[in-house]
Amino acid sequence: MPEVAVAGFAQAPNVRETAGTTNGVEMLVPILAEVFAATGLSKQDIGFWCSGSSDYLAGRAFSFIAAVDAIGAFPPIHESHVEMDAAWALYEAWLKIRTGEVDTALVYGFGKASAGQLRRVLALQLDPYVLAPLWPDSLSLAGLQARLGLEAGLWSEKDLAEVAARARADATDNPAAQLSGRVDVAELLDTPYVADPLRTHDIAPVTDGAAVLVLASAERARDLVDRPAILTGVEHRVDSPVLGARDLTRSPSTEAAARALDLDGVELAELHAPFTHQELILRRALGLNGDVRISPSGGALTGNPMFSAGLARIGEAAARIHRGEAGKTLAHATSGPVLQQNLLAVLEAR
């Protein structure tokens, strides 16, 4: 089976609100042009297209069909869609190339979270019989998760603030980041709670954004980019949707996915952690030591466009290889409440 590589990556600026429609076209058109210019490909060169978005977020059924306007109506394309983060669309495209059906694919994800009340929209992904009727919003659930870890002695509020401060400092080098800059941990701890014990800095901002990745067989990718980022392993697992059946201070699905991959020699890890305490959970689940740099882009805490933030983590990890800044990287994406579903991708320069 052919190896698959990330050959191109582009993302829209992460911003609090865009003026465009909820179908993402206005965010997608510029970054599609950017990735085509970088790789030298055209629309006709893409063998398979796959996207990730959510009709719940857009507020209408089959909203992703309208996003195809960013691609154009002609010539016809081979297209698919997942109703979740586009990292899972990447998995589908990865399989298409691995099985030899195509040798190029373009994956994109987008989300305009500013169009509604995100914390309430995300309540609709919960168990429709037991949990969703209670409308427990995403911040409250994350607050409960963080409280469990505090009471178990797994982290402190200072630990969480240090994660936020590091993320914003790292994001100063990321032109797409929504939040960046150096902040004092003591000042962060002096701010009020939003969902006790979480403060504003512990919570990823509401973000509008989009991301695009070009995948190709390793052979084809070498014609498109000097240092292809080979996807040497992709694994994803899911935990129970019944929150009471899970130990929320752990991520068993991430642990299981990690066991199926070779993480030795990973130099940096881009983690899709929308809350500070979730980064700590993921780091423990992955067994990452202190030598592994965590989310040098700033991660989701500095810009969290729904349904493309996970894909962007893979893109950021690949871009480090493209630029010669790393030889082996790890990317993580999550979907669902409190780290329910998790995907890991290992990328290497070969």
User: In this structure, how many other beta carbons lie within 10 angstroms of the beta carbon of residue 127?
Assistant: 14
- Alpha-carbon separation of residue 50 from 92, 93, 265, 302 (angstroms): 8, 7, 31, 26
Residue 331's pLDDT is 98
* Three-state DSSP class for residue 208: strand
Q: Please give the average per-residue pLDDT across 178-198, as a whole number.
A: 97
Tell me: the pLDDT tens digits for 256-302?
999 999 999 999 999 999 999 999 999 999 999 889 999 999 999 99
CATH code for the structural domain at 4-118+206-229: 3.40.47.10
Alpha helices in 206-307 (DSSP H): 218-221, 252-259, 276-286
67-71, 217-221, 301-305, 320-324: the lowest-pLDDT one: 67-71
Whole-angstrom distance, CA of residue 65 vs CA of residue 72: 11
The span from the CA of 188 to the CA of 199, in Å, is: 8
Q: Do domains 4-118+206-229 and 135-204+232-349 have the same CATH topology?
A: yes
**Residue 308: how many CA atoms within 13 Å on its side-chain side?**
31
- Partners of 347 in beta bridges: 231, 329
**Residues β-bridged to residue 4:** 217
How confident is the model at residue 14, as a pLDDT?
96
Q: Which residues contact 305 (CB under 8 A, 6 or more apart)?
A: 12, 14, 109, 110, 111, 113, 207, 208, 209, 210, 211, 312
- Whole-number pLDDT of residue 58: 81
Assess whether pLDDT exceeds 90 at residue 21.
no
pTM of the shown model = 0.97
Which of these, 341, 344, 311, 319, lies nearest to 330 by C-alpha position? Answer: 344
Domain ranges in the chain are 4-118+206-229, 135-204+232-349
Tens of pLDDT, residues 163-180: 999 999 999 999 999 999
pLDDT, tens digit (0-9, with 9 covering 90-100), for 227-241: 999 999 999 999 999
Q: Nearest 5°: phi and psi at 146?
A: -65, -40
Residue 250: pLDDT band by 50, 70, 90 thresholds?
A: very high
Instruction: Quickly list DSSP for 105-167.
Output: EEEEEEEEGGGS-HHHHGGGGS-TTTTGGG---HHHHHHHHHHHHHHTTS--HHHHHHHHHHH
Which of the listed CATH numbers 3.40.50.300, 3.40.47.10, 2.70.170.10, 3.40.190.150 matches domain 135-204+232-349? 3.40.47.10
Q: Report the pLDDT value the prediction gives residue 349, as an integer from 0 to 100.
A: 97
CB 85, CB 334: distance < 8 Å = yes
pLDDT of residue 69: 84
Mean pLDDT of the chain, nearest integer:
95
